[in-house]
Structure 1
Amino acid sequence: MFCISEVQLSYTPKFKRSELPIISEARDAYNVLLEHWDMKTINLIEHFYVLLLSRSNKLLGIYEVSKGGFAGTVVDPKIIFIAALKGCASTIILAHNHPSGNLKPSQSDISITKRLIEAGRILDLPVVDHLIVTEDGYLSFAEEGLL
C-alpha cells in the first residue's frame, strides 16, 4: 500500500495589480531587469531570468532561472514554465546577460529561444521576447526579428 500526495492549486498575490509596472516595450523590460540585477556580477557571471507578465503586460514577477559561469548557464525549460504557471503569467520575456559585453546572440541563445517558444505555444504561454543584457545596453530578439 502506498500513499499518493494531493495536489492543490491556489494563487495568493502579495501586491495590488493596479500598482504593477507595465512592460510595453523591450526598453521597459531592460530597465526593470537592471533594477534587479546584481551589477557586481553582470560582467562576471551569466544569469538567466524570466519576466512574468499578465494579459495587460503588467509585471507579475521576475524569476532567476539560473546562474552559471563566465561563458554560460543552464536553462531548463521545465523550471521556466513551472515559474510562469505558478505565477499565473499570460506571457513571458526571457533575459540573460553576456558577461563579455557582446550583444550578438550565440547559436545556443537562438536554439534555446526556439525551444522555449515552441514549449510556450504548447502551453498557450507565449514567449514575447528574449533580451540579451549588458550594463551598457540590450538586444531584443523581438525588435531584431529573431522570434
Structure 2
Amino acid sequence: MKVIKYKVLLDEENKNILVKESAQLYASEKGEMNTPAQIVHLCNDVLQANRLAEEHLWLLAFNTKNKLLGLFEVSHGTVNGSLITPREIFVRLFLCGAVRFVLVHNHPSGDTTPSAEDIHVTQRIHMAGEMMGIQFLDHIIIGGDTYCSMRDQYSKLFEQKQ
C-alpha cells in the first residue's frame, strides 16, 4: 500500500489546498487498516510515533473500503500537550474526500491513559463527525511499546447521539 503524507497550504486566493509531502510503500494486506494494532504498527513504522519527544497528532483519512487516502500531521505540541480543534480535522477530510477517519497521537511519557482533554477532544470530534456524516472510527494513543484504542476502552464516547 502507498502511504501518502499531505499538508494543507493556502493557494494564491488564500484557499486551502492539499499538497503531497511524501509517499512511501508500506507492506499491508490489501492496503486496509482494520484494527488499532495495524494502525499503530503503521504509525510506529512510518512516523516513529512511539519514539518522538513531543506530542504529535495525526489524522488518517479513509474511503468507504477502509483504504488509506492520506495521512496528515495535524498538530505538533510540547512534551505533554497538543492543540487541536474540529476545524483542522474536517478541512483535511473534506479536501481528500474521506468518509471515515482515525486520530492518532503519542504520549512521550509512555503512559497511554487518556487525559481529560483527550476525552473532551474525542467527544467534540465525534459530535462534529456525526453532524458532517463522516465516521470517526477511533482515537488511538501511542506510548512506547503500548497503545490505547479509545473506541475499545471508552466505547461510550463513540455511541451515536440521537
TM bracket (short chain): 0.7 to 0.9
Q: Which amino acid aligns with 2:102?
A: I
Normalized per residue, the structure richer in helix is: 2
After TM superposition, the score normalised by the length of structure 2 is 0.75
After TM superposition, the score normalised by the length of structure 1 is 0.82
Q: 1:27 to 1:39 in 2, by over 3 A?
A: closer
Aligned to 1:31: 41
Give unmatched runs, 5+ long, in structure 1: none
Distance in 2 (CA, whole Å) between partners of 1:139 and 1:39 is 13
Normalized per residue, the structure richer in strand is: 2
RMSD of aligned residue pairs (Cα, Å)? 2.5
CA contact 2:50–2:144 (8 Å) conserved in 1: no
Aligned to 1:116: 125
Structure 1 residue 38: deviation in Å? 3.9
> Segments of 4+ in structure 1 off by > 6 A?
none
Of structures 1 and 2, the larger Rg is shown by: 1
Give unmatched runs, 5+ long, in structure 2: 1-12, 18-22, 24-28
Q: Which amino acid aligns with 2:58?
A: Y
Distance in 1 (CA, whole Å) between partners of 2:48 and 2:63 is 25
1:133 alignment partner, SS class:
strand
Higher relative contact order (CA 8 A, sep 6+): 1
Distance in 1 (CA, whole Å) between partners of 2:118 and 2:144 is 19
Query: Which digits, 9 at most, give the CA deviation of each residue in 1:54-75, with x for residues without a partner?
Result: 1011111110001010010111
Q: How many residues align?
A: 134
CA contact 1:20–1:60 (8 Å) conserved in 2: no
Of 101, 105, 108, 1:96 maps to: 105
